[in-house]
Structures are given as C-alpha cells and as structure tokens.
Structure 1
Amino acid sequence: MIYVDADACPVKAEAEVIATRHGVRMVLVCNGGIRPSSNPLVEAVYVGSKLDEADIWIADRAGPGDVVVTGDIPLAARCIENGARVVKHNGEELTSRNIGMVLATRDLMADLRSADPFRQGGGKGFSKADRSRFLEVMERVLRAVKAG
C-alpha cells in the first residue's frame, strides 16, 4: 500500500503512475480539496480539519510493506518507527539511519526561525529535478518492498 500525505503534495500524479504500474493500492489522505481519482487502485480519504489529523490517520495505519509519501518529518519518523518506507516529495528516502539527523535539523531550523522574527522563507522551490528524483527513488523503493 502507498499512503500519500496529499495536502500540498506536488507528486500525487507521479505516485499514481507508479502505483498503477505495479498494481499497488494507493490512498490519498487529506483534509479535503482534492478530486478523487477514477483509477480503481486509488482511494481518497478525507479526514477532519484538526491539526495533524491526516498525519495521525496515516501513522496509525502505515507499517511493514507500506510506502509513505510525505514531506512531514514527524510523520515520517512515526511511519519509519512502524516499519514503513518513507519517500519525500523531492525523492529523498528517509530511513532509520537518517531520520534522527533530519529531525534534529528540522528542530534547529525552527529554533533559528523563531529567534529571528525577520527571517523569511529560506526554502527552495520544487524543481523538475526533484520530480524526476522522486520518480526514480519511488520506483526503486516500491520494487524493494514488493521483493520483500
């Protein structure tokens, strides 16, 4: 199963193409605002609008043999802890080996932003290279999951 944290996910269509190619079910989890797919392998799940409700829904279900697509680092950490594989939108795979450093960096950056109220943005945009890397990594991860 592929779970997609679908709110503001720039690679939903790419994930659907890969899921379809491999005959794997995919669940788009969001607070609303996305159209359901006509693809029989793709299900849309709409959760309430409470903070992190989609993340909680995914984390409660994702486990061994599942792939989660998200840019949310705390969600990624919970899914990895539960045995799922995690791929960020830019194609970076998060694993038990690198999630600690990614969480620490996220927390450090949050502290830096809160210490400087004039600091704006700083994130880089989503590029064609990110999309291409996502397709490549997602394909590799899904093959590995299917192989066991």
Structure 2
Amino acid sequence: MSGGISIWVDGDACPAPVKDILFRAATRTGLRLTLVANRLLRVPASPLIRAVQVAHGFDAADRHIEAAVVAGDLVITSDIPLAAAVLARGAHALEPRGEWFSPGTIHERLQMRALMNDLRDSGVMSGGPSAFSVSDGRAFAAALDRFLAQAR
C-alpha cells in the first residue's frame, strides 16, 4: 500500500492511544505517517514514521500540515479550521474520536466553533471537550480501518 497517501497528525493535542493506533497502522500498511508538533515527539524507529518539530507559535503545526498535505492524504486533527483547509485541498480529515469532517458539514462546524468561542469568551460557558475515553479510541480505530480498507 506504500507510495500513495500519507497520514499527517496534528500532534500537539493528539491523545497517546490514537498515536499508538496510528503507529501500528503505518507499520501494518506501509503508509507514511508524520506527526507535526511544536514540541519534540517520540516516535518508534521506522522509515515510515517521523516527527516534525515546528517553531513555537500560534497554529505553526497546522500551517505546516496544510502546506504539505496533498489530495487523498489523511489528516488526524480536532482543529476545525485545519480540517477545513485540508478538505479544501482534497485531503481527508478525521478527529481523534473517530468522527469525519466532511465538505458538506465543515461550514456548519466552523460556525458552531465560533459560537462556542463567543460563549466561552462572554463567560456564559466554560470548559472544553470531555476526557478521551476507551470508546473514543475504538471509534477512531474503526474509522481508520474503514478508510485504510477503502484506500487499498
């Protein structure tokens, strides 16, 4: 399966169980896996797996991924603006909890994100997403497996 698509990971906020699933998937399928973060990430020794450390700064990892991704690639992120950018480039975007971003719903998700930011900024709402769970990991693994099976 090597030679075609690459998997890109927005590594700064990616849960460890998702990274482990991705390490195994890259080894099993022969796909290139790149984790991008503004801090040093440890990855298994493999010619298929690499970590890229970008400069500290707002959205530096996102900008690196957006510049490098090509149509057909897979990006793992929970960042909605990054997902919108890679979808516009013809790539696929999957959340670490196993939910797909799609061209048909990305605009709505960007609007919801803006609304939630406004509510948090005004003090009406606080907090963020719930803790990553075992069922989230299973949902991610299932979505990834379906994608990889279709990509073959």
With the length of structure 1 as denominator, give the TM-score of the two structures.
0.92
Q: Secondary structure at the match of 1:37?
A: coil
Letter in 1 for 2:133: S
Task: Indicate conservation of the 8 Å contact 2:7/2:73, yes or no.
Answer: yes
Equivalenced residue count is 145
Aligned residue in 2 for 1:93: 100
**Counterpart residue identity of residue 76, structure 2:** V
Instruction: Provide the residue aligned with 2:3 in structure 1.
Output: none
Residue type of the alignment partner of 2:142? E
Q: Deviations over 1:14-38 (max 9, x none)?
A: 1111122211010011112311321
Distance 1:46 1:33 in 2: 6
* Mean CA deviation greater in 55-64 or 29-38: 29-38
The structure-2 alpha-carbon separation of the partners of 1:44 and 1:98, relative to structure 1 and needing over 3 Å to count, comes to: same
TM superposition outliers: structure 1 runs of 4+ over 6 Å:
none
> How many angstroms apart in 1 are the aligned matches of 2:70 and 2:105?
18
| Residue type of the alignment partner of 1:70 | T
Matched letter for residue 8 of structure 2 = Y
Selected match of 1:32 from 30, 39, 42: 39
Alpha-carbon RMSD: 1.3
Give the drift of 1:39: 2.2
Structure 1 contact 37–44 (Cα < 8 Å) conserved: no
Q: Distance in 2 between matches of 1:61 and 1:122?
A: 29
Q: Give unpaired runs (5+ residues) of structure 2.
A: 1-5
Question: Is it true that 1:125 corresponds to 2:104 in the alignment?
Answer: no
Determine helix, strand or coil for the equivalent of 2:67: helix
Q: Which runs of 5+ in 1 are unaligned?
A: none
Deviations 1:83-139 (A, max 9, x none): 00010010001110121121111111111111226x431421111110000000011
Measure the CA separation in 2 of the matches of 1:63 and 1:96.
Answer: 16
CA shift, 1:143, in A, is 2.5
Q: Percent identity?
A: 39
Describe the shift of the 1:4–1:122 C-alpha distance in structure 2 as closer, same or farther (beyond 3 A): closer
